[in-house]
Every structure is written in C-alpha cells, then in structure tokens.
Amino acid sequence: MLKNYNPDVLSCLANLSNDEVFTPPTLANAILDMLPQELFESTETTFLDPCCKSGVFLREIAKRLIKGLEKQIPDLQERLNHIYTKQLFGIAITELTALLSRRSIYCSKHANGKYSICSAFKDEDGNIQYKRTEHTWEYGRCIYCGASQSEYDRDKTLETHAYQFIHNPKELKKMKFDVIVGNPPYQLSLSTDNQKEGSLAKSAALPIYQKFIEQAQKLNPRYLTMIIPSRWFSGGRGLDEFRKNMLNDNRISEIHDFFDASECFPGIDLSGGVCYFLWSRDSKGKCKFCSHIHNDVIISNRYLNEFGEDKFVRFNQAIPILNKINSLKEETLDTYVSTQNPFRLNTNFKDFCKQDVKDSVKLYAYPESGFIERKKITLNQSLIDKWKVFTSKAYGERGDFPYFAIAKPFLGEPNSASTATYRILSIFDKKDEAINFITYVKTKFFRFLVLLLKNTQDAPRRVYQFVPLQDFNESWTDEKLYKKYGLTQEEIDFIESMIRPME
C-alpha cells in the first residue's frame, strides 16, 4: 500500500446489517453513470435521495455538478451555495445517518457550521431531513409498510424503522424532483408469533424496498434509479404485484443484475443477488439488460415480460436455450411438484417414533427421520404408497460458484411421507422410473433451468416452470439432453460454467 494513501472513508464503513447496507462510492458512481450526463450541467436539475445512509449519492452528485456548472457559475463559493441549497435534497433513514450524510455532503455535521462548505444555510439540517416518524397501526400492522405492532411499537429512545419517505406520503405530494436515487432498506423483521406454531419460522422478513420505488414513482420524477435485491424477479411474499408492474413497465430502460451480491457489496451475503435500474419517465421501449456474472457482463436489449408476468429470465445467455426447449412444447414439471407441505406435517413436527411400529409410515424429517402412525397423516394419503422423489424445499449456497441450485434429490419408497422440510418433485408407480427421474434431476441441464427462476433460498413449485418432462423409461444424461434440444457448444459451455456436478 502507498505510504501516504488515504482511502475514501465511505468505502470503509461497516454495514448496518445485510439489509441496510452502505453503498460503496464506486458503486454509487456506476449507478449515476446510467443517467444522462447533461443533467449535471444544468443549474435547474434537482436530485433527491429518499433513504440517505452515508450521503454517498448526494456527495458524488455534488462532485459532478461542481464540475459541470463551472462555466455557468465561475465563482466556486457561489456555485457550492447554489448546488447545495437548490439542487441536492435528502431524507435520512435514522438520526445517525442524517448526521453522517451531512458530514459527507457538507463536510460538517451541521449544515450551517463553521466548517460547512456551503455558507448559505440558516439551520443545522440543511437539505438533509430527518424526522422521527411513527407507524400507523391497524389490526396489529402498519398500514404503510406492514410492520408488526408487537415488533416495532417501541420505546421512544429506539429506532422505529418507520421510514419518513413511505410513512408520510401526504407531506411529499408537492415535492418535485428531476432525479430520485438511492439504496433503500431491504426488509423489516416480521413477528409471526400469532401464526400457527410451525407454520413459519418464529421470525420472518417482509420486503420493504419496493415501497420506496412505488412512492418515488408517485412523485413522477424524470428519472428514478435505485439498487435493490434481485429477489423481486421471482415475486413471492409481498412482491408479486410489484414484479408484475416492473416487468410490464417499458420505461425501465436499463438494469444491471449481479447474481453474486458481493460484487457490489463486499462481505455481504444477499441470497439471489442485487440489481440497479434506471426508470425513465419520458421514454419507452426495450430494456438494456446487463447480466454480471463474476466480472463478466453480457448485454441484451429485450422486453422484461417476454416470458410472461410470472417468469423472468435474468441471464441473457439463457434466452436462446429456452427458445429451443420451448419450441418442442413439452409439458413442464411445475404441475407435478407438490405444495409446500404435502402431508400437512410442519417442519417442527415431532410426534413420531424412532422405531418402526405396527401400521406406521416412514417419515422423512429434519434433523432426524422416524416413523409415524398412518392415521396421523390427514392429507394426500394416496401418495403414501407411491414411489416419490423428494428434495429440500429450500437450499442456500452462500454465493458459492458454480451452483447446485437445489439440494440433492432422494428416493421415497412406498409407505413413506415427509414433513414440510421436503417437497415432492414427482410420484411414480415404478421404482425404475423414479430412479431415472433422479438421474434427470441431477443433470446440470435440469438444475440450470431451475436456477433461472430461483432467486432466493426457497424453491417453490414455480421455479420448475422451465423444466420439460422426459420419458422416464430411460435414464438421462446431460449429453443426451444437449443433443435432444440442439444446443450449441457455446450454450453448453454456459450451462456447464454455471452448474457444478451433483454426484
């Protein structure tokens, strides 16, 4: 390291959590690069960061404006005063991040302080607001963000996590900005104590980043750009309507998708990766979609909804592969995959024996399997005596590359069942067919098609929508499948690079 090297302090901050991460300056600038650069040469352009943490976006915008307005406002102090009072605005997510943002942007925690580089502010806050906001409770939930009252109805000395931008919409209606940019909080913990025991984990997470985007769009800016988790590609909890709107919105002109979130946020593990996008109010058309995979980027211009509202393909290289598969119009596996809890036995179900007893059924459970009386199984009893292929309902890889995509499948013999830890991929009358199906599941071809729709640890039936059914009177290998669908060597190499062998 250079002796006199002084790193940018905003590149050295520890993150608040995996869900409230500070944006590195290099990433902030990559996001700002998507905007038309003439915006930074106008004295009229206004910018808002509605979720300030470190103030990095506004700081980097200020740098561009200071340079871009040099000819129009030659006097530096006059230029600084104009930029900071007329063009840059922020709403902090906490009192602490408000102070940090002011320090980053004004070089002083007080906007009107002695060392502030703007000499025109009359108060300490400047244009970086922070107002403690409370949730609005109704039937135990916040009507704006869905937070649990039991979880967030807190002591006044604690953070409410009732973010001002989405909890005071009436106050924001008159606000007009050319550009809204930011890195919003990603989720809120959600108490599940009032749910049936075992139906979910004791605590869960509710996505909240989509609320910031929806609120920003209501303000009708010329441009909107944010970095958010890529989980919305799959929809799911609280995101189905948001996904539908995003995929059908042809004002999204550019998306950069990172399957491995650590490429954007070093040291952060976000299952499903992250993406940043540019929404352009006054232009419509195809989206420039950039797939970033381990420092490689593939760019394609396409409509986001080309495979329908419930299916989104994040890898550009996969599109010609899917087109070849879909041309055969084969039935797909998703119609055969079981629901989340095929036998209505929750993941924490313990009312079973370790030893086989009369009229008992083998029960696959985690961490230990056992035996259960047949009469205790009240759902899908007809499946008990079939050959079944199970896999875990969820599988996370912590950024490992290449990927397994799903957990290893295993054979469930007749007279067997499982808890909700496992999902049935298919059922068979013959053992040989079930074994041949398992060989298919283990192929890279099969798991690659699952990976295309699996953007979280969970693997619900919808992630199997691209997987075509085969004749399971025979065994399947990747070589046979590549040949059947006429894949090119380049397409084969991409599949092979993304999926690791499953022995």
Residue scoring higher pLDDT (395 or 225): 225
Three-class secondary structure of residue 461 per DSSP: helix
The span from the CA of 259 to the CA of 229, in Å, is 10
* Tens of pLDDT, residues 476-495: 999 999 999 999 999 999 99
The span from the CA of 110 to the CA of 119, in Å, is 11
Percentages (nearest 5) of helix, strand, coil residues in the chain: 30, 20, 50
The helix/strand count (H/E) of the chain reads as 14, 19
- pLDDT of 169 reads 62
Cross-strand partners of 189? 205
Residue-wise DSSP of 30-69:
HHHTTS-GGGGG-SS--EEEEEESS-HHHHHHHHHHHHHT
Please answer whether residues 469 and 426 qualify as being in contact, where contact means their C-beta atoms are separated by less than 8 angstroms: no
Q: With CA atoms as reference, report the closest residue to 389 among 415, 425, 413.
A: 425
φ/ψ of residue 141, rounded to 5: -130, 150
Task: Name the residue type at position 199.
Answer: S
**Half-sphere CA count of 362, side-chain side, radius 13 A:** 12
Assigned token pair, 339: 């629901």
Tell me the mean pLDDT in the region 98-105. Answer: 94
**Dihedral sign of CA atoms 214, 216, 221, 224 in order:** negative
Residues near 200 by beta carbon (within 8 Å), at least 6 away in sequence:
192
Q: What is the CA radius of gyration of the chain?
A: 26
Alpha-carbon 424 to chain mean position: 26
Tell me the mean pLDDT in the region 253-276. Answer: 89
Residue-wise DSSP of 184-246:
---EEEEE-TTSPTTTS-SEEEEE-HHHHHHHHHHT--SEEEEEEEGGGGG--TTTHHHHHHH
Question: Strand 370-373's sheet: what is its strand order?
Answer: 370-373, 360-364, 416-418
Any idea which of 204-208, 333-337, 438-442 has the lowest mean pLDDT? 204-208
Task: Name the residue type at position 114.
Answer: K
**Which position has the token pair 């000395």?**
157
Tell me the mean pLDDT in the region 293-310. Answer: 88
Q: With CA atoms as reference, report the closest residue to 424 among 397, 452, 459, 457.
A: 459
Please answer whether residues 333 and 464 qualify as being in contact, where contact means their C-beta atoms are separated by less than 8 angstroms: yes
Three-class secondary structure of residue 426 per DSSP: strand
Pairing of strands 179-182, 223-229: parallel
Residue scoring higher pLDDT (269 or 89): 89
Residue-wise DSSP of 350-410:
---BSS--TTEEEEE-SS--EEEEGGG--S-GGGTTSEEEEEESB---TT-SSB--SPPPE
pLDDT at 194 over 50: no
- pLDDT of 1 reads 44
Cross-strand partners of 138? 141
Q: What is the DSSP letter of 125?
A: S
Dmax (CA) for the chain in angstroms is 91
pLDDT at 399 over 60: no
The span from the CA of 281 to the CA of 428, in Å, is 52
- pLDDT of 188 reads 85
Strands (E), 230-359: 252-258, 274-280, 287-293, 296-302
* Tens of pLDDT, residues 55-73: 999 999 999 999 999 999 9
Residues near 14 by beta carbon (within 8 Å), at least 6 away in sequence:
none
- pLDDT of 202 reads 35
The span from the CA of 294 to the CA of 292, in Å, is 6
Please answer whether residues 259 and 292 qualify as being in contact, where contact means their C-beta atoms are separated by less than 8 angstroms: yes
Residue-wise DSSP of 10-27:
GGSPPPS-SSS-PPPHHH
Tell me the mean pLDDT in the region 317-336. Answer: 95
Three-class secondary structure of residue 103 per DSSP: helix
Cis peptide leading into 24, omega within 30 of 0?
A: no
* Tens of pLDDT, residues 327-375: 999 999 999 999 888 999 988 888 788 777 788 899 999 988 889 988 8
